[in-house]
Chain A
Amino acid sequence: MKKAINLNVNGVSRSDEVEPRMLLVHYLRDVLELTGTHVGCETSLCGACTVMLDGQAVKSCTLFAVQADGSSVTTIEGLAKNGELHPVQEGFWEKHGLQCGYCTPGMIVAAAQLLERNSDPSREEICHGLEGNLCRCTGYQHIIEAVQYAAKKAGAQ
């Protein structure tokens, strides 16, 4: 029995009928074709599927699409505004914060939310804020530097 959902994704209103058990990540990827959000573990442990739900970073692989009914969702595709990269995206490019790129969308969304809460985080606070996101390529150092770059850049603006 499909359920109707209405939500706002990256500033666009969406109305769809979905199976109650459809995961939010599958709704974003398969229905809306926003494939920047990835699935890495299906158990909330790796963070590749991180999106913002009403301003909170959440793991979209363990939320149902129906739980997002009435909410506002921002995915990696919605971070850049008017063709301008988000400071965290810019930081990841400048500081080589990614290699294979698979964890990157979730990592960037989590880092963006971290900076919304704390505009000048210490190294420890960055590590704590990214605790829910795994990266197997970078050894994290360049990711931490990318977030520091973004904090500095956003602070200067």
Chain B
Amino acid sequence: MTDKYVGKRVKRTEDPRLIRGLAHYVDDIALPGTLHVAFVRSMFAHAKIDSIDTSAARSAPGVVAVYTGQDVADKIGPVPCASALPELKVPDHRVLAKDKVYFVGHPIAAVVATDRYAARDAVDLVMVDYEDLPAVTDVEQAAAGGPIIHEGFGDNIAYKLTSGEGDIDAAFAAAERTVKQRILHRRLAPIAMEPRGVLARYYPGEEELTIWSSTQIPHLMRTQVALMIGIPENKLRVITPEVGGGFGSKLNVYAEEALLGWISMQLGKPVKWIETRRENIQATIHGRGQVGDIEVAFKNDGTLLGVRYSVFADLGAYHQLLTPAIPTLTGLMLSGAYKIPAIQMNIVGCFTNKMATDAYRGAGRPEATYVIERALDLVAAELGVDPVEVRRKNFPAANEFPFHTATGLDYDSGNYEAALNKAQEIAGYAQLREEQKKARAEGRLIGIGVSTYVEICALGPSQAMPAGGWESATVRIEPTGKVTVLTGASPHGQGQETSFAQIVADELGVSINDVTVIHGDTGVVQYGIGTFGSRATAVGGTAVLVAVQKLKEKAHKIASHILQADATRVSFEGGKYSRQAAAAAAAGTSDPVVPVGEAPAGALPEPQTEGRTSLTIQEIALAAHLAKELPPDTEPGLSATYFFEPKNFTFPFGTHIAVVEVDRDTGDLKFLRYVAVDDCGKVINPMLVDGQVHGGIMQSIGQALYEEVVYDEHGQLLTGTLMDYAVPRAKHAPEFELDRTETPSPVNPLGVKGVGEAGTIGATPAIVNAVVDALAPFGVKHLDMPIKPENVWRIINEH
């Protein structure tokens, strides 16, 4: 096989439709007779519903139906939570609130009307009588008692969990020094640019329901929604057309998805709901939301002995699909890139009167990386040494992999020092420190922040996943020679239509233009898990690779039969199977047998096999389809399916270095440099990898400096629009300087690790460490995110 595409910067095959405005997101699909749904949502964070009067809404122009929690309570099952933790309290989460509301945005009633304006008008005509109850929004107050949200539970604690290995008490007893820091991780809103949206169409005759939804997990959603609304799973088809970003927020099963399906079944008509941005910030999951204390035990020479992290996790009012599991991922990654003999994580997961938290880009791992990387800077400050030296001292060496951590993981491969060295070299680290000294002497506030992260990707072995951690692929060559790939890893912007086609085109020796990747349709694609947790390439791409290799095994058998040669004497190169001596002459790219548009109507041309010494794989496909020249006991057709189960996670890593300058007069800051050296194993398409890293770092910049979902003490959402919730804009972007090291993963045959979340995981601490470093002359050792100019200005001026 000669690589033509893998490893190269191949332009995306997705793009032509997207840049011309011709792609189809959910709201772009128009079915005749579609009815529109709008929701009545709670304006209180915690209240009893005394009564709901829908009569005025029902008689409003264009209104077809209004459904309340009472109407659907015994018709639609609860919104699912897939996390299984010991003694986890799981509230009964119905698609519409019935007796009580638990957060601002909690859906109460669904109005169905002939157009979206009429539906929205009628929402205002639904009269809800609330009895306002005291709300609890602070997670520590919730844990300490506070108003109890779900009375039946007796308190607001959903679960408590302690994890980790090693003797943590002995580590602290033996410590020559310790540091301790309370750290906040604010709630963040994922803000996919396309809000959620659902279109459902029921055909009463066929008894078939189709749901188009902007989701990351079409198959998992189909299973769950089928259970919720009681339709046989094989009568429900879920289609995810173009999906405008997810970042974890669409890795879920939402009330609206089931409800729209059910309403369509009641009315026998297509129904559509498109989330507004205000609804999106209220009622799509949030990320992060932890507060806790990190404690580190270490020796005078900087050797780490133990880490303890005790945290209150702000879960919100209900569990969404993975809500309680997210903080446990923090516990898994607390060893960071370091040898730490004893680690303990204590989680208290609490209900609050807010929307649920769940997976947002990184999903629990950014919290771990952030506390460890912040803590290492505190250790360095305590010892009076450069932050880089503490890190370097505690790295496992490249020959110590697989490396077992005290969080119970086995890191697959790594060379942390190499990435750090490369980043230091690119940044000119020693010189930067010199310049910083000079600048400080001149009164300028320059800070250098380093983060040497490791993350966990390729989620994951099924043992560690609630609903299967494998991924599936089918590769087939059609009679005309075109290659179709079906993947369960349905993307939402990552570019798998291109990267998976690269893998297949290289394996088959065909042009990438002859490969089409199909995804996101449960009626077409075999069961799959989805795109999240930086798993698509490592798990889904591997499934594609093995499927295409299986297909080639069959093609080889057929080729040997037709070429009348022993299989061992037939070779495959450049898309052609050749009797050995003829191989070199035949090499080149394989072309379809039937040029598009020139195929004779009615009959496919039979491949001319008589006397040939080589055949293209596409001729083999045609022969396999016509089935006249097959070896004995060979099934017709040329198609293979593979379900790949990974043996382990993968562990990408890298070093990020941020250099910032703080403006003394305004407290504002600007990036002078941003250097990132990431190691995501083998790279399929470097252009896509760069794009993922850029986007990930930008979301870190948002978290570190701007973004925060704010509820007031009554549970009112104060950041309900993009006016108040500050998503970074172009002017906030530094000029990224990216590079890579390449340590292949032994976990999959592609050697890939994953890169979707690396930027978000690695960058946040580098940025905060840089700002703290800039303000070190004022005695600053820690700042909580988001670090706004006002906070910085106060530090400078109140010093």
Contact surface of A with B, Cβ cutoff 8 Å: 19, 21-22, 26, 29-30, 33-43, 45-46, 48, 75-77, 79-80, 85, 89, 92-94, 96, 98-105, 108, 123-124, 126-128, 130-131, 133-144
Contacts and interface: CB of A to CB of B under 8 A. Distances in A.
B468 interface: no
Interface string B7-25: 0000110111011111111
B22 A128 contact: no
Contacts of B194: 38, 40, 100, 102
Interface stretch (B237-245, B522-530, B532-540): B237-245
B695 A101 contact: no
B15 A135 contact: no
Interface in B12-43: 12, 14-16, 18-25, 27-28, 30
Given A40-B194, A138-B691, A131 B247 contact: no
A101 to B, nearest CB: 3
Nearest to A102: B244
A105 B20 CA distance: 7
A141 B695 CA distance: 9
Given A35-B24, A142-B694, A144-B730, A43 B495 contact: no
Contacts of A46: 193, 277, 722
A104 B21 CA distance: 8
B685 to A, nearest CB: 9
Contact of A93 (B12, B23, B277, B730): B12
Contacts of A34: 21
Nearest to A21: B117
A139 B733 contact: yes
11 contacts: A43-B722, A45-B722, A98-B18, A104-B18, A127-B731, A133-B730, A136-B695, A136-B727, A139-B691, A139-B695, A141-B736
A66 B135 CA distance: 45
A131 B278 CA distance: 21
Contacts of A38: 25, 193-194, 244
Contacts of A77: 20-22
Contact of A36 (B20, B278, B698): B20
B15 to A, nearest CB: 5
B20 A45 contact: no
Contacts of A144: 730, 733
Contacts of B193: 38, 40, 46, 48, 100, 102-103, 134-137
A127 B21 contact: no
Contacts of A140: 694, 698, 729-730, 733
Contacts of A33: 30
Interface residues of B, number: 58
Given A33-B30, A42-B276, A142-B691, A101 B493 contact: yes
A143 B495 CA distance: 16
B485 to A, nearest CB: 20
B495 A99 contact: yes
Contact of B19 (A89, A126, A137): A89
B691 A93 contact: no
Interface string B226-244: 0000000000000000111
Interface in B730-760: 730-731, 733, 735-736, 759
Contact of B723 (A43, A85, A94, A141): A43
Given A40-B194, A85-B20, A101-B15, 9 more contacts: A30-B30, A36-B22, A93-B16, A101-B23, A102-B244, A102-B245, A127-B730, A133-B729, A138-B694
Interface of B: 11-12, 14-16, 18-25, 27-28, 30, 116-117, 191-195, 242-245, 247, 274, 276-278, 492-495, 687-688, 690-691, 693-699, 721-723, 727, 729-731, 733, 735-736, 759
Given A38-B244, A40-B193, A102-B25, A96 B19 contact: no
Question: Which of A79, A89, A130, A139 gathers most chain B CB within 10 Å?
Answer: A139
Given A92-B15, A131-B730, A100 B21 contact: no
Q: Pick the 6 closest A-B CB pairs, nearest first.
A: A36-B21, A102-B244, A100-B493, A139-B694, A76-B21, A101-B18
A138 B495 CA distance: 12
Nearest to B699: A136
A80 B20 contact: yes
B721 A45 contact: yes
Contacts of B727: 134, 136
Nearest to A134: B727
A96 B276 contact: no
A104 B25 CA distance: 13
Given A96-B688, A96-B691, A141-B735, A136 B495 contact: no
A95 to B, nearest CB: 9
A41 B277 contact: yes
A146 to B, nearest CB: 10
A69 to B, nearest CB: 19
A99 B493 contact: yes
Contacts of B12: 93, 96
A90 B693 CA distance: 22
Nearest to B16: A93
Contacts of B28: 29, 35
Contact of A41 (B22, B688, B697, B722): B722
Contacts of B14: 101
B763 to A, nearest CB: 10
Nearest to A147: B730
A139 B723 contact: no
B670 to A, nearest CB: 12
Given A101-B14, A136-B247, A142-B691, A35 B730 contact: no
A36 B20 CA distance: 7
Contacts of B696: 139
B493 A137 contact: yes
B19 A93 contact: yes
Given A40-B277, A131-B729, A141-B733, A136 B722 contact: no
Nearest to A77: B21
Contacts of A39: 27, 274
A105 B722 contact: no
B656 to A, nearest CB: 13
Nearest to B277: A41
Nearest to B278: A42
B694 A141 contact: yes
A42 B721 CA distance: 9
A75 B192 CA distance: 22
Contacts of A124: 731
A96 B9 CA distance: 10
Nearest to B723: A45
Question: Which of B18, B192, B696 gathers most chain A CB within 10 Å?
Answer: B18
Nearest to A98: B18
Contacts of A41: 277, 721-722
Contacts of A42: 276-278
A81 to B, nearest CB: 12
B19 A98 contact: yes
A139 B24 CA distance: 24
Contacts of A128: 731
A97 B736 CA distance: 15
B697 A139 contact: yes
Contacts of A30: 30
A39 B699 CA distance: 21
B722 A134 contact: yes
A76 B22 CA distance: 9
Nearest to B691: A96
Given A93-B15, A142-B691, A101 B242 contact: yes
Nearest to B9: A96
Contact of B21 (A37, A43, A134): A37
Contacts of A105: 21
Contacts of B242: 100-102
Contacts of B274: 39
A108 B731 CA distance: 17
Nearest to A99: B493
A137 B22 contact: no
Contacts of A93: 11-12, 15-16, 19
Contacts of A45: 721-723
